[in-house]
Amino acid sequence: MRAPPKDRRRRPARPSLAARIARHLVAAALLLVAVLALALSAWIAWTQHARAQRETQSAEQLAGAAGRWVDVGDARLHVQEWGRPTDPALLLTHGTGAWSGTWFGLPDALAAAGWRVVAVDLPPFGLSTTPDDGRTVDYSRAAQSRRLLALARTLGPDLTLVGHSFGAGPALEAAVAAAADSSGVSLRRLVLVDPALGLGPDGEPPQCEAGAQPGVLLASRSLRTTLVGATATWPGLTAPLLRQFVHRQDAVTDALLPAYRLPFARTAFSQRLGDWAAAFSQAACEPAESLRPERLTQWAAQGPPVALVWGEEDRITPLAQGRALQRWMPGATLAVLPGVGHIPHIESPEAFATALIGVLGPPR
């Protein structure tokens, strides 16, 4: 018998080793993406649950007997006070993520030097409240400065204003606006501490892009609330985030953290902070007088004395910005703190208090 004919059809070529490795790598990458997506979803779900459990108290409950509220029209500003009511008033405005409860020992040092110290919470930070009827809150520099001026009118004449970081923008804007006869506020001195004014690294004026809009993550209120709740108001990240702003890492101690975290328990705090973040992302396009070098030069020629206090190692607002402000405001003094970053009152409390009291001069 004849053997059956062989099957002459060509068998499929076996994939090369390189192709098999590439296929395995793609499968591993897809698996990793799926695992990361699952982990991220679990993290978001957990932080949303934790936020709902955490943000349950009103501003009044958190304040207790400390501080009081001042109605300024579109907000009730929470303020805390130190010193004798008859002493000259000194108003402190805080930086991003801070509030009137995070000045720590500074107000006591200033009060001992003869000042009536008033520390305010700028919305949405701390315990200041804004309408809850769904209206958009104005977080612009001009709006914050109007709130400061309304508060200042309740503190009497000859007010001294000290603004740190983010709070220095509204403080400077308020000082410029106070020069108008209708403001009803007389400033005896303005002190800006490591001011965050939106300048370039070497002090260049802000570059405004017309029609700027918040990014995708900030455009949706629910999405940005979730994002803030998983980062900025997540208690476990308070210390790492705070360390991004300082030069002396050891200055961020466990003893400081409860004060920074206290507002995290406010009802809808993450939502308010997300609203502010969306507005802040467009802040460079504000029509603020304090962003115009020529306006500052004109104002400084006839305004109150201006002092700048700067951490030499500040990487958030580099010292070059202070030099630029000195050029725009002739006559402004500049005190530089060696070995200090962006938050001098926690990095070198005694040296900063001494420097600040020095530039303030005698209270009377």
pLDDT digits (tens, 9 = 90+) for 44-69: 777 778 888 899 999 999 998 889 99
Architecture of domain 67-206+289-360: 3-Layer(aba) Sandwich (3.40)
CB neighbourhood size of 329 (10 A): 21
Tell me which DSSP letter residue 28 carries. H
Q: How confident is the model at residue 28 (pLDDT cuts 50, 70, 90)?
A: confident
Q: What pLDDT score was predicted for residue 182?
A: 66
Q: How confident is the model at residue 29 (pLDDT cuts 50, 70, 90)?
A: confident
Strands (E), 197-324: 306-311
Q: Do you find a cis peptide bond into 293, omega within 30 degrees of 0?
A: no
Q: What pLDDT score was predicted for residue 256?
A: 97
pLDDT digits (tens, 9 = 90+) for 150-165: 999 999 888 999 999 9
Averaged pLDDT score across all residues of the chain: 89
Which one is predicted more confidently, 117 or 133?
Answer: 117
Stretch among 4-8, 116-120, 290-294, 326-330 having the lowest mean pLDDT: 4-8
Q: What pLDDT score was predicted for residue 13?
A: 63
Q: What pLDDT score was predicted for residue 136?
A: 80
Give mean pLDDT, residues 251-256. Answer: 97
Tell me which DSSP letter residue 281 carries. T
Strands (E), the chain: 68-71, 76-82, 89-93, 116-120, 159-164, 187-193, 306-311, 333-337
Structure tokens at 242: 């705070």
Domain boundaries, the chain: 67-206+289-360
Burial grade of 281 (CB within 10 A; 0-12, 13-18, 19 or more): middle
Q: What is the pTM of this model?
A: 0.87
Instruction: Give the percent of the chain with pLDDT over 90.
Output: 63
Q: What pLDDT score was predicted for residue 26?
A: 80
35: pLDDT strictly greater than 90 = no
